[in-house]
Structure 1
Amino acid sequence: MVLVTPLTKLLGSVPLVQGGMQWVGVPSLAAAVSEAGALGILTALTQPSPDALREAIRETRRLTSKPFGVNITLLPTINPPDYEGYARAAIEEGVRIFETAGNAPGALIKFFKSQGCIVIHKCTTIRHAKSAEKHGVDVLSIDGFECAGHPGEEDVGGLVLLARAAQELKIPYIASGGIADARGVAGVLALGACGANMGAPGQRLVHPIHQNIKNKIVESKEQDTVHIFRTLHNTARVFKNKVSMEVVSIERKPGGAKFEDVRELVSGLRGKKGYELGDPDYGIWSASQSMGVINDIPTCQDLVGRIEREVEDIIGGLSKVVVKAKL
């Protein structure tokens, strides 16, 4: 059996997309994922400037001859990045697959489509998915409440969100959030998705992340995440540690909290330093409930191959559920 979906036909890969993750979507991971047969994704904003992204793209090309994409996420920030500069740099370096996410992506999507690119847009509601559909994206990535990072403010889990997508959307969609093994991938295919976007598996594979963090992901369970920024209406699911719980405590104070009250605690550079030092309590880092089903640290090649084989077995085994009635 070979898995064939609208995503595999579009990308020429197995129906798995590496999530675009801050500090994690670096050349070594993107190249390894693409080499393994899935779609690797570089995270543009992990790089400090558009020129640094150019070099990251070139480095990825030195590591793999296979296609990979670039993620650009538009989120509320005190100092907005040069989104247009990152987009132009990637286009000029020959990238033709993009993952977009976040607020008001219309102009970015229009630019990429004008350049003949494939655009996968990630969203957390059917309302936003239908808006992106009108903008002309090729594939939607439907992000359930189980996900790491920003799950939106409506708290709808993947099971219902994907079923709604099957009812409402006219273009292919992949599933994102809470998927880390073959059962998850087979499940979302049954719900109508044409593939899966996987983030947490990448965290335990990427080279720049300290082994202590990888081990912590394997040891952790689905209960070991927490939401921060709920009171600021910019909810993020992160690893439950001393820093994130301090942020939650500040948010729960009478009268609430302003971003300035937690700014130092949630610094992105502090989270990056925690990855490098191997200290899971050093800063804030994104984590999905899918940690509960992660049990080992394989290579990208082994993980992608294993998921593909097991998904085929699961789908094939479902035929046993259907019993023909005797005439």
Structure 2
Amino acid sequence: MDYRFLGASGLKITEITFGNWLTHGSQVDNDVATACVNAALDAGITTFDTADVYANGVAEQVLGAALKTRRRESLEVFTKVYWPVGPKGPNDTGLSRKHIMEGINGSLRRLQMDYIDLYQAHRFDHDTPLEETIAAFADVVRSGKALYIGVSEWNAEQLRAGQELAKSAGFSLVSNQPQYSALWRVIEAQVVPASQELGISQVVWSPMAQGVLSGKYLPGKPAPAGSRATDEKGGMNTIARLMDATVLERVQKLRPIAAELGLAMSQLAIAWVLQNPNVASAIIGASRPEQVAENVLASGVVIPPEMMADIDAALGDSIERDPAKTTSPEQRPA
């Protein structure tokens, strides 16, 4: 497993991160979730990503229990704050000082840890002054409850404004967590150049486009039993926009490219995002330990430029590039 620096910081993280969105506390039983975490550790992954909103805190609990016996200093644990949690009262959401301070304490309690390596703003909060948010994050860092601060799905303008305030407050934003895949490239035109300028890395989610780039969804065929597209607990909704016949047909054109590189389709998808030098890590999830063992083989893969061009040609106009699609809710979610 290869490591990369996170932004302009001195922190190294594994270039593949294990994440538990839509799995721990919802799609899979706790014993299977623990087995997946152990498979990640066995494969050399030391970086783990979660959020307080995942299964309303249960995902953090499951991850914390799974990592409890491991040496804390050998792990990099990330979590996030913003979306409604708990009983979802008026202050159980957003990036106010109150919610950030209560959020970090709740996450530490559920994870059974003394500190978080990376604490992330899960979206931009239009209802809270940015100065208040950044000042609260500065206090979280000074308290030792989080070592680094990152964001998720912030646009270029928000990153610049946030970094300016952060540096004035004595710390830096080191990461952004956007959706990014060979099919979803909305960060490339504006977010990536701004991030390179500001010393911010991308830790990307959905590098396999919700599993579509694994090639398992065939045009004109029913979705495989047990797949995300058949999950009525939430997975079906997240993947719906990608279950388009044209998209699925174009994805199948990647199969010979993967075969030429000696890769599974899922490995090709993960390796593709890691070709971007601004990407520090790609987040993978798993509902079975063997998925982890397969996907980590994308680490260290180099895709030649001509084959990157072949991927572009195969996917064609199914690629989404509109930078305006990096968005956060205009009002704090209830």
TM-score by length of 1: 0.50
2:198 alignment partner in structure 1: 170
Query: Which digits, 9 at most, give the CA deviation of each residue in 1:106-144, with x for residues without a partner?
Result: 365234312331223222311121233233344121525
1:181-192 aligned at under 5 Å gives the runs none
Unmatched 5+ residue regions in structure 2?
A: 26-32, 94-98, 126-132, 255-263, 267-287, 309-334
Asked whether the equivalents of residues 125 and 142 of structure 1 are also in contact (C-alpha less than 8 Å), the reply is no
1:190-269 aligned at under 5 Å gives the runs 200=210, 218-220=215-217
Asked whether the equivalents of residues 42 and 71 of structure 1 are also in contact (C-alpha less than 8 Å), the reply is yes
Distance, in Å, in 2 between the alignment partners of 1:111 and 1:221 is: 50
2:301 alignment partner in structure 1: 310
Counterpart of 2:176 (choices 141, 149, 160) is 141
2:44 alignment partner in structure 1: 37
Unmatched 5+ residue regions in structure 1?
A: 181-198, 202-214, 225-240, 242-273, 319-327
2:80 alignment partner in structure 1: 72
1:126 alignment partner in structure 2: 156
Distance, in Å, in 2 between the alignment partners of 1:5 and 1:218 is: 31
Distance, in Å, in 1 between the alignment partners of 2:189 and 2:198 is: 17
* Corresponding residue SS for 2:21: coil
Q: 1:310 to 1:279 in 2, by over 3 A?
A: closer
Distance, in Å, in 1 between the alignment partners of 2:232 and 2:40 is: 28
Asked whether the equivalents of residues 123 and 129 of structure 1 are also in contact (C-alpha less than 8 Å), the reply is no
Distance, in Å, in 2 between the alignment partners of 1:166 and 1:103 is: 16
> Which amino acid in the other structure matches residue 75 of structure 1?
W
Q: 1:89 to 1:279 in 2, by over 3 A?
A: same
1:103 alignment partner in structure 2: 124
Query: Which digits, 9 at most, give the CA deviation of each residue in 1:248-292, with x for residues without a partner?
Result: xxxxxxxxxxxxxxxxxxxxxxxxxx97x9871635323496995
Are 1:295 and 2:304 matched, yes or no? no
Distance, in Å, in 1 between the alignment partners of 2:60 and 2:2 is: 35
Asked whether the equivalents of residues 7 and 175 of structure 2 are also in contact (C-alpha less than 8 Å), the reply is no
Asked whether the equivalents of residues 142 and 174 of structure 1 are also in contact (C-alpha less than 8 Å), the reply is yes
Query: Which digits, 9 at most, give the CA deviation of each residue in 1:165-192, with x for residues without a partner?
Result: 256x322311525634xxxxxxxxxxxx
Query: How many residues get paired?
Result: 228
Q: CA deviation at 1:46?
A: 2.6
Query: Which digits, 9 at most, give the CA deviation of each residue in 1:223-250, with x for residues without a partner?
Result: x9xxxxxxxxxxxxxxxx9xxxxxxxxx
1:15 alignment partner in structure 2: 15
Distance, in Å, in 1 between the alignment partners of 2:14 and 2:64 is: 22
Distance, in Å, in 2 between the alignment partners of 1:70 and 1:2 is: 18
Asked whether the equivalents of residues 79 and 107 of structure 2 are also in contact (C-alpha less than 8 Å), the reply is no
> Which amino acid in the other structure matches residue 118 of structure 2?
F
Asked whether the equivalents of residues 150 and 174 of structure 2 are also in contact (C-alpha less than 8 Å), the reply is yes
Q: 1:171 to 1:54 in 2, by over 3 A?
A: same
Distance, in Å, in 2 between the alignment partners of 1:44 and 1:300 is: 23
Distance, in Å, in 2 between the alignment partners of 1:3 and 1:302 is: 18
1:87 alignment partner in structure 2: 104
> Which amino acid in the other structure matches residue 88 of structure 2?
N
Distance, in Å, in 2 between the alignment partners of 1:9 and 1:302 is: 30
Q: CA deviation at 1:45?
A: 2.3
Q: 1:36 to 1:2 in 2, by over 3 A?
A: closer
**Larger relative contact order, structure 1 or 2 (CA cutoff 8 Å, min sep 6):** 2
> Which amino acid in the other structure matches residue 105 of structure 2?
R
Asked whether the equivalents of residues 8 and 14 of structure 1 are also in contact (C-alpha less than 8 Å), the reply is no
Distance, in Å, in 2 between the alignment partners of 1:178 and 1:172 is: 19
Distance, in Å, in 1 between the alignment partners of 2:160 and 2:39 is: 33
Q: CA deviation at 1:220?
A: 2.6
Distance, in Å, in 1 between the alignment partners of 2:182 and 2:62 is: 30
Asked whether the equivalents of residues 122 and 143 of structure 1 are also in contact (C-alpha less than 8 Å), the reply is yes
Distance, in Å, in 1 between the alignment partners of 2:42 and 2:172 is: 25
Distance, in Å, in 2 between the alignment partners of 1:99 and 1:15 is: 18
* Corresponding residue SS for 1:220: coil
Distance, in Å, in 1 between the alignment partners of 2:229 and 2:300 is: 35
Q: CA deviation at 1:88?
A: 0.9
TM-score by length of 2: 0.49
% same residue: 8
